[in-house]
Amino acid sequence: MLNALFTLVMQVLYAFGTTGLFMYGLQALILTLLKLREERLQKQGNPRIHHYCDLGTPYILVDLPPVTVQLPIFNEVHVVSRLIDACAKLEYPSNRLQIHVLDDSTDGTTAIAERRAAFWRKRGVDVQVLHRSDRQGYKAGALKEGLTVATGEFIAVFDADFVPPPDFLNRTIPSFLRESGKDIGFVQTRWTHLNGEYSALTRSQALALDGHFVVEQAARHAVGLSFGFNGSAGVWRKACIEDPAVGGWQDDTLCEDLDLSYRAQLAGWRGVYLDDVEAPAELPPQLLAFKRQQFRWAKGSVATLRKLAGSVWKGGWPTWKRTAAFVHLGGYLIHPLLLVLLLVSPLLMLSGSQPYLPLAYLSLVSVGPPALYALSQRRLHRQDWLRRWAHLPLLMLLGMGLSLSNSVAAWQAVFGRGGTFLRTPKFRVEGSSDSWHRSGYALELEPIVAAELFLSLYAGIGCYIAVIHGLWLNLPFLALYACGYALVAVYGFYESWISRSSRAQLGSRPAKPFRPKGLVKY
């Protein structure tokens, strides 16, 4: 009796997990088809797409509105000069442009920022460093406090790892100024990559981000679905942030950007995604840094879902739009579902059940994610898209290997509130000759690596059980788990060893942040 009950519980959990994966694959497939459909309509000149994409003749700028550029930073010795220089070179009238470095740093970053701001002020650019000694609210707190002294009608935000092109404001501000743009609250642009070809890790990240921006964001925007502000390389209407119905920047999630953008759309403001405006940024070259970034994004997005689920449900949106919003906000819940499937599969096989049966309908939409990434690469890199898309297997392994860490993040988001904002270190790694290993910002291994090694072994045992029971359809899935967890754990060990060895070569003195080649000295 107990054995039958145990098997039933395992089967229910397995079915729940596969249903979640089905939803994830279905979303990717639908967004890919929507992107293809809207491209076809656009080529045919169908006016239905214009309502959301805000197409039409370019707006002629006559009286430029004042803009404040906010640069929230914390301990960014390597990249703060690059960021300030890029923003100071924005092609916008100096009497209409205000640049605020919102600095919460506790190391030498502040001194570097002050020197570079003084350099540009002598050349007529209004660059100010606003330093906080108290990091209350983290990035959201800095943006909120900075808004009180911002004189711009529009607020552009760039994180430390970005290098905005000179024409960025001239290509984004017009969206707000068109007659049809009075209800536009924010504009998001497409991220590109300064170091996308640096390593297999950065190429995999580039593939994932290209899929998100080129297909997911574009498709959601094109058909009028809610979508998120990505926290950087975008512009906000100050009146939207300060709208009492929106509520301004809030620090009760670690994704203040996603949170604010959804509250703005629920309050009736509209977002615009500009796929043709690029904003280059640096990808994390260290696996542990990428892992930390994903942990924060997972925790923040699930916390936003927890916070806004009731508002989305009661917000007056049609059912299809509410459903899409829930699936969007819950995207990182895929990782706990992956973990559940791993834990349950070997137990079901030992009990004599056939856990692969629910995978039959999952296979119907399994083409969704590969098709989404293939489409993004075809649109961006028509000549060598296949070479770039070939990093999909590594991206899948990383997704499997990070499922434990991201599941912990989701758990904390569901049963807690907020959390410490752990920054993703930036190293100014752009080319193959640059290095991050000697930097004092390089991250160390965390205890969770022991659990990842255990799960790799557990998945390997599952592979053995699948072989001896002849359940061959389970073998590829479990092998992905085993290899993914092994990759994340072992490569983390390798990176940590290389970093320690590189710093040891500097001598017995304490390691200092490494200044990559090409950084300007003052």
Return the ∠ at Cα 172 (arms to 384 and 185), rounded to 5°: 120
Residue 86 DSSP SS3: helix
H or E element: which one contains 349? helix 334-350
The answer to whether the beta carbons of residues 6 and 191 sit under 8 Å apart is no
Query: What is the SS3 assignment for 355?
Result: coil
Question: Rounded to whole angstroms, how far apart are CA atoms 174 and 235?
Answer: 11
Q: Which DSSP category does 424 fall into?
A: P
In contact, 25 and 362? CB cutoff 8 Å: yes
Place of tokens 């970093």: 499
- Any alpha helices (H) in 126-255, and if so which ranges? 138-147, 168-177, 200-210, 218-222, 238-242
Q: Would you tell me the crossing angle of helices 475-504 and 448-468 to the nearest 10 degrees? A: 150
Among candidate residues 103, 257, 259, 434, the one labeled active-site is 257
Sheet holding 154-157, edge to edge: 127-131, 97-103, 67-73, 154-157, 234-237, 184-193, 270-281
| DSSP-assigned letter for residue 421 | -
Measured CA to CA, the distance from residue 520 to residue 508 in angstroms comes to 27
Distance, in Å, from the CA atom of 174 to the CA atom of 307, rounded to the nearest integer, reads 33
Burial class of residue 327 (count of CB atoms within 10 Å of its CB; 0-12, 13-18, 19+): middle
**Tokens 């900075």 appear where?**
146
Q: Which helix (H) or strand (E) holds 101?
A: strand 97-103
Q: Which of 104, 159, 251, 434 is catalytic?
A: 104
Active site residue 126: no
- Residue 281 near residue 79, CB atoms below 8 Å: no
Q: How far apart are CA 104 and CA 241, in angstroms?
A: 22
Instruction: Output the DSSP codes for 371-411.
Output: HHHHHHHHHH-TTTHHHHHTTHHHHHHHHHHTHHHHHHHHH
Q: Is 104 a catalytic residue?
A: yes
3 state SS for 323-338: HHHHHHHCHHHHHHHH
* Residue numbers annotated as active site: 104, 257
